A and B are shown apart, each in its own frame.
Chain A
Amino acid sequence: PKAIKKVKTFLNKVVIRKLPPNLTSEEFLEIISPIPDYSDYYFVKADWSLGAEATSRAYIEFKNQEDIFIFKDKFDEYVFVDNVRGTEYPAIVEFAPFQNLPKSRARKDKH
């Protein structure tokens, strides 16, 4: 059956930026748990080509709007510590600049 494209009624995708470069997805999830209901989550490891400025980041798509504000209150500027460098990394929580692909082009064919 064709996937029915969910229509976004509010911005639900949040990015958590400036996380320690050596942080892993598992460690991150542990720190932020319990996570409110979400429909998607992914973690992006640091891009080491940025050298000393390398950081990792994560994206979460929340199901409920209220949870976003609670999450932001809790983790925006929350200090994560890099377990290799010992450096402090205050996180930035904001709406992801890109929320989703324009609806018109969703015509997924499953193999």
Chain B
Amino acid sequence: PEGGIKVKQKIRTPIQMYIRYLIFEELHKGNVEKIVKYLRKLNWDDSEVSDYVIKCLTKAYTFRWHLIRSLADVVSALSSYQEKAVTRVIDGVFEDIRAGLEIHSPKLAQRRIAMAKYLGELYIYRLVDSQNVFNTLYSIISYGVTWNHEIFSPVDPPESMFRLKLACTMLDTCGAYFQSLSSKKKLDCYLVFLQNYYWFKKSHPVFKSTAESGDLFPFLIEHMYKECLHNLRPKLKLYKSYEKAQEEIEKLKQQLYPNLGEGESDGKLLNTI
């Protein structure tokens, strides 16, 4: 639209332009060490400088997809020297993912996917632990989810497959790195809940298929989901219905919390907070 809209020109200081140049333009897979070297030379005691670097290192969504790993690599290398700043970057990543769950706007779709990928990469570089990752994975399939097809959730509308996409993105990124016995178990457990969420979505009346309509559930999502689970657990037999998934959740509850009273909501059960 012409007229009316004033675009505010951002005025950047030379040091901000230099930081942007290093992080947004120069960074590629082959020069992570060099970038880290230059970043370390900045005056981190100047909060205007450190705040700006932190901001740039947090915004994984401004990078091309394959560079997100290199960004995590930079942050990892930097963590030995600038522990506080790196902690703030990671705080920012968690906040962004959470805000995305609360806001649910198509405008943020690309950003949310990138940040989920980023968190997965940060786990691969051992900056966050598996519990951090699982807490996020659980929040993705539980935050604002009504577990009732008659109650509409504005942050997870029935037709929206976005949460599945997010969860699969994270699992595709770092699922194979859950190697310790305890994190393997955590993943097995999560996959039960993920399948339950999948079936909650798929069994919604909007996807009710008839002979003429065929299967209305988005094919690409179905494929992504099956592929993701297959890559992680090739032998896993996927549940074939919502009822079956819920049965398995019940079993899991009995197994893990035999003394737990009723009335706990599924997703919350394993969240720490």
Q: Which residues of A contact B (CB under 8 A)?
A: 15, 17, 42, 44, 50, 53, 57, 59, 94-98, 100-102, 104-109
- Can you sample 27 A-B contacts with CB below 8 Å? A15-B95, A17-B95, A44-B88, A44-B91, A44-B92, A44-B95, A50-B99, A53-B102, A53-B103, A59-B91, A95-B272, A95-B273, A96-B94, A97-B273, A98-B90, A98-B132, A100-B87, A101-B90, A102-B126, A102-B127, A105-B126, A105-B127, A106-B83, A107-B80, A108-B80, A109-B80, A109-B81
Considering only residues 68-90 of chain B, those with a C-beta below 8 Å from chain A are: 79-81, 83, 86-88, 90
On chain A, the residues within 8 Å of B90 by CB distance are 98, 101
Residue of A nearest to B54 (CB): A44
Q: For the complex, is B250 an interface residue (Cβ under 8 Å from A)?
A: no
Complex contact A42–B88 (CB within 8 A): yes
Does the CB pair B273–A94 fall under 8 Å?
yes
Q: Which of A50, A94, A100 has the most CB of B within 10 A?
A: A50
A98 near B128: Cβ-Cβ < 8 Å: yes
Number of contacting residues on B, CB 8 A?
27
**Cβ-closest chain B residue relative to A5:** B83
- Please tell me if the beta carbons of A101 and B99 are within 8 angstroms of each other in the complex: no
Residues of A within 8 A of B79 (CB): 101, 105
Q: Please name all residues of chain B whose beta carbon is closer than 8 Å to the beta carbon of A15 when the two chains form the complex.
A: 91, 95
Closest residue of chain B to A104 (Cβ to Cβ) is B126
On chain B, the residues within 8 Å of A100 by CB distance are 87
Majority-rule SS of A interface residues: mixed
Task: Report B-chain residues with C-beta under 8 Å of the C-beta of A104.
Answer: 126
Chain B contacts of A108 at CB under 8 A?
Answer: 80-81, 83
Residue numbers in A under 8 Å from B28 (CB-CB): none
Cβ of B129 < 8 Å from any Cβ of A?
yes
CB-defined contacts of A42 to chain B, threshold 8 Å: 88
CA distance A106 to B105 in the complex (A): 38
Contacts of B86 in A (CB 8 A): 101
Bound: A102/B95 CA distance, A: 19
Question: Which residue of chain A has the shortest Cβ distance to B80 in the bound complex?
Answer: A107
On chain B, the residues within 8 Å of A17 by CB distance are: 95, 98
Chain B: minimal CB distance from A34 (Å): 24
Residue B196 lies at the interface, judged by CB distance under 8 Å to chain A: no
Say yes or no: A96-B80 contact (C-beta < 8 A), given A102-B127, A102-B129. no
In the bound assembly, the distance between CA atoms of A57 and B80 in angstroms comes to: 26
Check: B254 CB closer than 8 A to any chain A CB.
no
Chain B nearest CB from A16 CB (Å) reads: 12
Contact status A98-B99, CB under 8 Å: no
Report Cα–Cα, A97/B94, bound state, in Å. 7
Given that A98-B128, A102-B127, A105-B79 are contacting pairs, would A53 and B99 also be in contact in the complex, using a CB cutoff of 8 Å?
yes
Residue of A nearest to B86 (CB): A101
Residues B132 and A97 in contact, CB atoms below 8 Å apart: yes
Interchain CA distance A106-B87 in the complex, whole Å: 12
B120 vs chain A, min Cβ distance (A)? 15
Cβ of A98 and Cβ of B91 under 8 Å apart? Answer: yes
Compute how far the CA of A42 lies from the CA of B84 in the bound complex, rounded to whole angstroms: 11
Are B87 and A105 closer than 8 Å at their CB atoms?
no
Chain A: minimal CB distance from B197 (Å) = 20
A94 and B95 alpha carbons, distance in the complex (Å): 12
- Tell me, yes or no, whether B209 is within 8 Å of chain A by CB: no
Q: Shortest beta-carbon distance, B234 to chain A, in Å? A: 30
Which of the listed residues B80, B91, B127, B128 has the most CB atoms from chain A within 10 Å of its own CB?
B91
